[in-house]
Chain A
């Protein structure tokens, strides 16, 4: 009978039951982790009212930014439109002036021909 494999198993078992000293900074690291976890705000740990308030504030911020962007864009469009409007009015005035001068000139020529 051979008991060698059994002895080998016994050895392994003994070794695994042996008490190993913990790394020197293990406790510090564990405590550190625990402290950090406690410090981190837990969204669902907050009261419902606070969560609603924070959500509303965020929503209001996003909406305000969106509205501000749209309003700024509209103001820019209005400014460009007003500039173009003034240019159109000036163009119409110059056109009218040219047409008026042409009419005067043609009328003067007609009068000269009649005379």
Chain B
């Protein structure tokens, strides 16, 4: 009888693991985020699950705007978006160790670094990593550090360089009006 129960438990686990693996889960916020958020003068925290993205995609799709329709196509395929942006009033509000903690938290074996740029003089750095599953891109991670700003972007789902290009195009088009974040060309 015991062996049957053990066999059943193993069978259930074997069925459950692939089912869980199919849907990419957004990570829990890293512990260092609390400290960064407490010191930042401006914080943007965005966590969008697949359901929320589907709701947003439906609205984009209903729009007559071509750019919004393009965004809808991009967004509806994604599994999740996790974005954090911390702006600090002055330099030196965060340490290199904290940035390393952030990097290590997100840099797991699934992720492959494609861009790694460091400026030792200014302390600025940029990291881009992609998550490859069966040779296909299934996630994108960006960690961008400026003297007074940290941006963390984690996009789960089929997003590659082509989609990044689209993002850039869309970001410069009119659809970004109405969001309160200051643009890249604005002085910060």
Seen from chain A, the residues whose Cβ lies within 8 Å of a Cβ on chain B are: 77-78, 80-82, 84-102, 105-106, 109
Tell me whether A84 and B56 are in contact (CB under 8 A): yes
Tell me whether B83 and A95 are in contact (CB under 8 A): yes
Tell me whether B55 and A80 are in contact (CB under 8 A): yes
Distance from B53 Cβ to chain A, minimum over Cβ atoms (Å): 7
User: Inside 8 A of A106's CB, which chain B residues have their CB?
Assistant: 115, 117, 126
Distance from A85 Cβ to chain B, minimum over Cβ atoms (Å): 4
Tell me whether A88 and B151 are in contact (CB under 8 A): no
Tell me whether B126 and A95 are in contact (CB under 8 A): no
What is the count of residue pairs linking A and B with beta-carbon distances less than 8 angstroms?
A: 114
User: Inside 8 A of B164's CB, which chain A residues have their CB?
Assistant: 99
Tell me whether A93 and B71 are in contact (CB under 8 A): no
Tell me whether B44 and A94 are in contact (CB under 8 A): yes
Tell me whether A85 and B60 are in contact (CB under 8 A): yes
SS of B interface (majority) = mixed
Q: Which of B151-188 contact A (CB under 8 A)?
A: 151, 153, 155, 164, 167-168, 170-172, 175-176, 178-181, 183-184
Tell me whether B46 and A87 are in contact (CB under 8 A): yes
Closest residue on chain B to residue A89 by CB atoms: B179
Interface size on B, residues (CB 8 A): 41
Distance from B50 Cβ to chain A, minimum over Cβ atoms (Å): 11
Taking a contact as CB atoms closer than 8 A, the residue among B56, B155, B167 that contacts A96 in the complex is B167
Q: Which of B139-153 contact A (CB under 8 A)?
A: 142, 144, 146, 151, 153
User: Inside 8 A of B181's CB, which chain A residues have their CB?
Assistant: 90, 93-94, 97
Q: How far is the CA of A97 from the CA of B142 in the complex (A)?
A: 11
Q: List 28 A-B contacts (CB under 8 A).
A: A84-B56, A84-B59, A88-B53, A88-B71, A88-B75, A89-B175, A89-B176, A89-B178, A91-B46, A92-B71, A92-B167, A92-B176, A93-B181, A94-B83, A95-B167, A95-B171, A96-B167, A96-B184, A97-B183, A98-B126, A98-B153, A101-B126, A101-B144, A101-B146, A102-B117, A105-B126, A106-B126, A109-B119
Tell me whether B119 and A88 are in contact (CB under 8 A): no
Tell me whether A84 and B176 are in contact (CB under 8 A): no
Tell me whether A84 and B175 are in contact (CB under 8 A): no
Taking a contact as CB atoms closer than 8 A, the residue among A85, A101, A102 that contacts B56 in the complex is A85
